[in-house]
């Protein structure tokens, strides 16, 4: 197949390139696109050297898939050109996630939804992906109607520059120098920032509302209620998420653990940490216990690599789901 990657020089774009190689995707042709300042850079893919092209040229002809790792505004500008060229656009931004005509897909949860695309398929928010993988088996036992969620999000969620800022601040503080924050609203080194995204009229942030709005769409459950708090933490990569969910029907704890143990994309651990889950694609789940507040409540902790399963790998898995339909 012929594949293009938009935003190939960023953390997610680079991970997409790596995942294509790791998963042995049969790529006949690969085109890498970025902004003008990156044109001419060279990346290797399966012993081939590929020169980065200017995405403004919109050279999408004869491509089967284009993977987007762009900001939402840029993605909206270029999506029509990708579709008109005949490619399926798999977009990692927030541009089309809540569009009724665009499927929002976590392959382990609602992979069949790729059947309903009209040229564009959306990749969910990173925390949504990790949460949905962790909760899918539980939701199959009994539908989840309410969730209280706290996310502890790594600086990788802000891209390469977020990771660089944490490193630079730690280095500065270690030498007794003042640290500078440009990417984050406050110092992130040795600190937590309990706000990600812009604050809305209801007091929640845009990042926090994504978990409710996107989960409703993925689970086909418009009545799902989610109370979410998003926190940026000084972890390099992999998001951690505390989840308390209430089920329509009470389920035995051992039945829940067995369902999780057999679920696709999950590994059970007693105490999962970001370091455990970094640089791989499984969502680690642990600290499973009955919730004392909700009548049919359950509490768990999960961690997942934000750059991989939370972004790049999920996009590649969507591509694989599309290929299953063709074959």
Closest CA relative to residue 138, chosen from 31, 290, 280: 290
The pLDDT of residue 326 is 75
Which class in CATH covers the domain with range 2-124+311-326? alpha beta
- Phi/psi of residue 84, nearest 5 degrees: -60, -30
Residue with tokens 């089967």: 64
The pLDDT of residue 105 is 98
Q: What is the pLDDT of residues 22-54, one digit of tens each?
A: 998 999 999 999 999 999 999 999 889 999 999
Residue 312's CB is within 10 A of a number of other CB atoms, namely: 28
In this prediction, residues 194-221 reach a mean pLDDT of: 97
**128-306: which CATH topology?**
Dihydrodipicolinate Reductase; domain 2 (3.30.360)
In this prediction, residues 157-181 reach a mean pLDDT of: 95
Contact criterion met (CB below 8 Å) for 239 and 154: yes
Sketch the domain layout of the chain as residue ranges.
Answer: 2-124+311-326, 128-306
The pLDDT of residue 19 is 96
Using CA atoms, how far apart are residues 326 and 115, in angstroms rounded to an integer? 10
Active-site entry in 8, 19, 126, 230: 126
Active-site entry in 239, 245, 302, 322: 239
Going by DSSP bridges, is the β-strand pair 297-304/283-290 parallel, antiparallel, or unpaired?
A: antiparallel
The pLDDT of residue 151 is 98
The pLDDT of residue 27 is 95
Q: What is the reported pTM?
A: 0.96
Q: Do domains 2-124+311-326 and 128-306 have the same CATH topology?
A: no
What does pLDDT average to over the chain? 96
Residue 74's CB is within 10 A of a number of other CB atoms, namely: 16
Q: What is the pLDDT of residues 290-304, one digit of tens each?
A: 999 999 999 999 999
220 is catalytic: no
pLDDT score of 327 more than 90: no
The pLDDT of residue 91 is 98
Q: What is the pLDDT of residues 100-118, one digit of tens each?
A: 999 999 999 999 999 999 9
Contact criterion met (CB below 8 Å) for 253 and 103: no
The pLDDT of residue 325 is 82
179 is catalytic: no
The pLDDT of residue 124 is 98
Using CA atoms, how far apart are residues 240 and 285, in angstroms rounded to an integer? 10
Closest CA relative to residue 143, chosen from 210, 211, 223: 223
The pLDDT of residue 274 is 97
Residue 44's CB is within 10 A of a number of other CB atoms, namely: 10
């Amino acid at each position: 197949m012929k594949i293009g990657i938009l935003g190939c020089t960023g953390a997610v774009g680079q991970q997409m390139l790596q995942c294509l190689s790791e998963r042995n995707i049969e790529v006949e042709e690969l085109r890498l696109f970025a902004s003008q300042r990156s044109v001419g850079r060279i990346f290797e893919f399966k012993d081939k050297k590929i020169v980065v092209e200017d995405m403004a040229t919109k050279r999408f002809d004869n491509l089967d898939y284009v993977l987007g790792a762009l900001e939402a505004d840029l993605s909206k500008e270029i999506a029509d050109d990708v579709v008109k060229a005949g490619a399926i656009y798999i977009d990692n931004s927030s541009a089309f996630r809540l569009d009724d005509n665009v499927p929002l897909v976590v392959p382990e949860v609602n992979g069949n939804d790729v059947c309903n695309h009209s040229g564009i398929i959306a990749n969910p928010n990173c925390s949504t992906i990790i949460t949905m993988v962790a909760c899918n088996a539980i939701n199959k036992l009994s539908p989840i109607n309410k969730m209280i969620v706290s996310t502890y999000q790594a600086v990788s969620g802000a891209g390469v520059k977020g990771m660089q800022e944490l490193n630079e601040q730690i280095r500065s503080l270690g030498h007794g120098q003042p640290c500078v924050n440009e990417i984050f609203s406050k110092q992130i080194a040795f600190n937590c920032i309990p706000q990600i995204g812009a604050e809305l009229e209801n007091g929640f942030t845009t990042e926090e509302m994504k978990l409710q709005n996107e989960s409703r769409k993925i689970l086909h459950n418009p009545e799902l209620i989610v109370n979410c708090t998003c926190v940026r933490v000084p972890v390099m990569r992999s998001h951690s998420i505390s989840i308390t969910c209430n089920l329509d029907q009470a389920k035995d704890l051992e039945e829940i653990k067995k369902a999780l143990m057999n679920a696709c994309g999950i590994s059970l651990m007693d105490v999962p940490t970001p370091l455990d889950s970094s640089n791989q694609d499984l969502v680690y789940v642990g600290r499973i216990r009955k919730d004392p507040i909700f009548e049919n409540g359950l509490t768990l902790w999960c961690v997942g690599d934000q750059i991989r399963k939370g972004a790049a790998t999920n996009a590649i898995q969507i591509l694989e789901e599309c290929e299953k339909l063709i074959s």
